[in-house]
Amino acid sequence: MFMTFTGSENGEQVRREALAFIEDYLKPLEREHGITHESEVPMDLLRQIWKDSREAGLYGAQLPEKLGGRGLTIYDQCLLKEDIVSAGAVLGGHVLGELGGPPRVGHLFQFASEAQLESHFLPVIRAERTCCFALTEPNAGSDASRLATQAVKDGDDYILNGHKRYISGAPYSDFAILMAVTDPDAGAKGVTAFLVDFSMPGVSLNSDYLPISGQRSHADIILENVRVPASHVVGGLGRGFLLGMSRINVNRLLHCPTMLGLARQALMEAATYASGREQFGTPIASFQAIQHMLADMATELHAARSMMLDVASRLDRSEDTREASAMCKLFASERAFQIADRALQIHGGVGLMKGSKVEFIFRALRMFRIVTGTSEIQRNTIAKGMLKELTGKQ
């Protein structure tokens, strides 16, 4: 097919295994338990899926082999993630551990001490523990320099107070990698990353909101005089921002296959529906207006995927992709949402009804224009880099 891209031999093998896992194991399990996109899935069942995926060699497949992964390139990871999402399983994200598993700790492995690897990081890889990444606060969203969560030294410990907002995976997690201010006068160099166990006294979760996706996979983390040992500092004092920024280009890119997987599903749904739905005595797919919408959707999906894979190749060659990753996140999120909008239009009234596949995809894709850096913030990054390159000025 004109839109098909192929990865390395290793990557293609993992793609085949993942699709088989979804069709033979995950989808039947979802049917058996009656799970929909908005179900609250019992933790026992999720733990079982993580373990089974781990045994199948898929959970954490993106990690290097020395950490028990399959050593996938970023290019391979993009293809794999898009395949998994477009396969349409409700719990597809859990196959690679997207919510609480290895992708949440990502590259932070390399900054962890031996003791932290044993107590926190390796158990995440083995699907024994789960974690989330907590930066955002009520008054620090796009502007992360406004963090107010404080960590004050007290003997061998730090006392943490603060409030983290909208943290993905928090309801499933055993601990957070959490950013707090250790030196209020040092700006970005005064922020430190801590491992905060949710079993510690003073930690509580609050999720009395529901995003438009209808999925309860996010929560606020409230810290009230939480005593955290200094040994839980990750990567050294004052290096929290550095840790976060060191992987931002890869993280931004790795959200794109999720958006494009959903967009691919929307396109397939729309094409199928248009071929079957008859009006004026003929399938609506025979109308040029509908054909042109489908053509635009396919073209935009192809463009976004080509862009994503170009940036992935650059990252695999260790090139600096700061602006290119921001462009990709911007373009993929905006185009994917527009693809979903057209898919809904093609479905007519049926598409507007709660429970239809395209209305869920539409709601889910709307979120990506805001989360992990809004479209405006991506444009700021692109413009700043471009102007600097073209004019030599900041």
Ligand X SMILES: Cc1cc2nc3c(=O)[nH]c(=O)nc-3n(C[C@H](O)[C@H](O)[C@H](O)COP(=O)(O)OP(=O)(O)OC[C@H]3O[C@@H](n4cnc5c(N)ncnc54)[C@H](O)[C@@H]3O)c2cc1C
Note the residues at the interface with ligand X (CB under 6 A): 132-136, 141-142, 166-168, 211, 218, 367, 370-374, 376-377, 380
C-beta closer to ligand X: residue 128 or 376: 376
Phi, psi for 10 (deg, rounded to 5): -60, -45
Name the residue nearer to ligand X (CB basis): 26 or 131.
Answer: 131
B/e letters for 355-380, b = 16+ CB within 10 Å, e = fewer, are ebbbbbbbbbbbbbbbebbbbebbee
Beta carbon nearer to ligand X, 353 or 386: 386
Are the C-beta atoms of 345 and 293 separated by less than 8 Å? yes
- 132 vs 284 by CB, closer to ligand X: 132
How far is 40 from 17, CA to CA, in rounded Å?
27
Min dist CB 104 to ligand X, Å, is: 8
Residue nearest to ligand X (CB): 141
Residue 288 CB, shortest distance to ligand X, in Å, is 36
Min CB(375)–ligand X separation in Å? 7
Q: Which is nearer to ligand X, 57 or 141 (CB)?
A: 141
Residues with Cβ within 8 Å of 169's Cβ and at least 6 positions away in sequence, in order, are 99, 100, 104, 130, 131, 132, 217, 218
Decide whether 95 or 132 has the Cβ nearer to ligand X: 132
**Nearest alpha-carbon partner for 107 in 206, 249, 203, 202:** 249
Q: Which two tokens stand for residue 7?
A: 């990865």
3-state secondary structure of 186: coil
For residues 365 and 339, give the distance between their C-alpha atoms in angstroms, rounded to a whole number. 10
Distance CA 245, CA 190 (A): 14
Shortest distance (Å) from residue 244 CB to ligand X: 9
Residue 208 has, within 13 A of its CA and on its CB side, a CA count of 3
Residue 130 or 136: the one with the smaller Cβ distance to ligand X is 136
> Considering the complex, what minimum distance in angstroms separates the CB of residue 165 from ligand X?
7
Residue indicated by tokens 């071929």:
275
Supply the minimum distance, in Å, between the C-beta of residue 240 and ligand X: 12
Minimum separation from the CB atom of position 81 to ligand X (A): 17
Instruction: Identify whether the C-beta of residue 96 lies closer than 8 Å to the C-beta of residue 103.
Output: yes
**Phi, psi at 235, each rounded to 5°:** 80, 5
Q: Taking the complex as a whole, how short is the minimal distance between the CB of residue 40 and ligand X, in angstroms? A: 16
First to last CA, the chain: 44
Closer residue to ligand X, CB minimum distance, 19 or 370: 370
